[in-house]
Structure 1
């Protein structure tokens, strides 16, 4: 037996084009392709099946991700969301996020998905600089991104945008402009993450051939600090290493991932995580990708907890000590290195800890034998 699922991820692996940095399980498929129809029909069957099996009764957050969910079009999204609404409780207190890209988000889609239960939109902007967007190979321009955000606001209070930093050729001034533009657009949430060159992507080939400079760690750190300064001055709270929100608008679904909440994945390449008191297991495409014992579960909870500004509680540390006897010593060492700090009854990451995340997270995860 496992604890009930409380988060649901639905994967829509289709895009208008594949970006040069992307290593996700996605395909560039024309919007009128019957492949998309077949896929959506299979998703609906899976959702109904999981509902019959009683797996959707405790769901508190839903996330439609991709790929680009908005690329599949309004009629298919309507069928999918209608199936969800018949299969589980999709009330206003259930956070339901849908990812969208500017080139495929229309005012009609905004109105209809809002009426069908989506209450949070996450728009993949990446930059409001046309030169940077061209480098990334995005299908939209800056003006298109602004129009998409404005259209989202016609119905949605909870609008998030993704931005990228540390992109070769991207200046600090360009990043500042993008962050400031997003602030002026009135979004309630922003995710800002550095470009990562993933193996076997076009960007990887360009770096290896010398056509593109490898991202610079110092530039990425500077960009992250600049973004933090601008956003905090504008009233956004940094609640995770790369996530900022106006009060009350932190993403509940992502917090579920970082706090050990069991989640169910439906669709191609979607992962599920089940757990009980003794074991945590992740499954993707029918294959077990992680199988953690109790000690490893505690180590993962500490590592993921330190991604968040609230960190981890003394209570969790005390519980973890039964399996990880060196946990307090390691935390004290991290504090001496300036990577963590103990305040009140919690251990929290410092700014330096976030910037040197590999050192912080690695030390905690390595606690497990």
Structure 2
């Protein structure tokens, strides 16, 4: 799309900035990144330019959250972060105290690096721990070791209050006991937010190849479910709120960025492979660093877009809503999608309610504890495929 054309996205909310560089490839990862840092400066300039090119998309609303994702955003220097954030403040109206999150890997978080990050406007760190055990980290091909995993959290707590860590469960060879030890180690640092995901086997990843060749045992869904139930029990007992399927936060420490996503708020994605959404349209940038940089240098947004049908929007509402503690507002379904969609939903949920998988409370459709691990599958069963 040429920069002179009207933008397909309007409104405001969140900015997602994709930093497409990593030191090495994790075996399970299918996100867009490059291990070649040679174009990092050109990429920073392109990100800044895209921010400028798309400023009219938020011309009437405020930026409330800024999220540096990747890739590995912690490969950025503080000066590069400052330049990107300066462009945000130059071209957008930003609320007084936005949540600004930076994803970081433990091997980047030396004492000097953490102090350097604290000198920027970053006020939330999301650290990719994944496991506190060396055998798990080796299987995943993580760049850090178990000692670095522990040390970086202790160091980060000195400078940052709002810290989240990622943990992965369902890893082949990970016993229930080792998973519980992972959780207990995380709790020992008294961090306010934990995100935890089941190991998934994505196409075209090294993990898929190793499993197909018999080098690594297949992922066991029953083991993953057992780990998830342990996770919910341990973290809930420790005072965390499981506000979204994979996310657990202490009171006042929910991720504002992610919550806005699950509640269907608008966001702009900056950088190669980044996605944008404004409730009626979705867009995604090209997932090639060189082509992205070249297009931006020619004042062209390398983005494809699609207009979402009412059915698309309804299905997304069901999918995201059922993953959260807020559920799906039945009244809102009626208002946003009409009586046909509302009637379809009530008909579809009846059997799920009888089976104890769903409940209705205060006019909201929620996943019952029994159905929590199955929430995505339950949501898919409720999708509409033949209404416009």
Q: TM-score, normalised by structure 1?
A: 0.92
Match 2:164 to one of 154, 160, 167: 160
* 1:75 CA displacement: 3.2
Aligned mates of 1:303, 1:53 — CA distance in 2:
26
Gaps of 5+ in 1: none
* Offset of residue 117 of structure 1: 1.6
1:14 is matched with which residue?
21
| Deviation for aligned residue 1:288 | 4.0
Q: Distance in 2 between matches of 1:300 and 1:77?
A: 33
Q: What is the deviation of 1:205?
A: 0.6
Q: Helix, strand or coil: the match of 2:25?
A: coil
Matches within 5 A, 1:132-171: 132-171=136-175
Corresponding position of 1:292:
308
> What SS does the aligned partner of 1:211 have?
coil
- Once the two structures are superposed, residues 319-344 of structure 1 have per-residue CA deviations (whole angstroms, 9 ceiling, x without a partner) of 24435131111122221232211122
1:80 and 1:48 map into 2 onto residues whose CA distance is 11
Query: Hey, what's the Cα distance between the residues in 2 that align with 1:71 and 1:136?
Result: 20
Shift of 1:46: 1.6
**Counterpart for residue 75 of structure 2:** 71
Q: Provide the C-alpha distance between the structure 1 equivalents of 2:119 and 2:19, rounded to a whole number of angstroms.
A: 20
Q: RMSD value over aligned CA atoms?
A: 2.1
Cα 1:368–1:281, aligned 2, differ >3 Å: closer, same or farther? farther
Would you say the 8 A contact 1:189–1:250 is kept in 2? yes
Q: Distance in 1 between matches of 2:180 and 2:351?
A: 35
- Can you give the 5+ residue segments of structure 2 that lack an aligned partner in the other structure? 1-7, 287-301
| Secondary structure in structure 1 of the residue aligned to 2:251 | coil
Query: For residues 224-303 of structure 1, what are the structure 2 equivalents within 5 Å?
Result: 224-275=228-279, 279-285=280-286, 286=302, 288=304, 290-303=306-319
Shift of 1:77: 2.4
Residue 317 of structure 1, CA deviation = 3.3
Structure 1 residue 74, shift from structure 2 partner:
3.1
Aligned to 2:355: 337
- Cα distance, 1:242 vs. partner? 0.7
| 1:289-334 C-alpha deviation (Å, 9 max, x unpaired) | 6532223312311221001022112322332443513111112222
The answer to whether the 8 Å contact 1:296/1:365 transfers is no
Give 1:64 deviation, angstroms.
Answer: 0.3
Give the aligned partner of residue 196 of structure 2: 192
1:26 to 9, 25, 33: 33
Q: State the secondary structure of the residue aligned to 1:117.
A: coil
Matched with 2:225 is 221
Q: How many residues align?
A: 363
- In the alignment, the residues of structure 2 paired with residue 187 and residue 92 of structure 1 have an alpha-carbon distance, to the nearest angstrom, of 25
Q: Quick check: 1:48 aligned with 2:41?
A: no
Q: Distance in 2 between matches of 1:138 and 1:6?
A: 33
Q: Shift in Å at residue 14 of structure 1?
A: 0.4
Match of 1:61 in 2: 65
TM-score when normalising by structure 2: 0.88
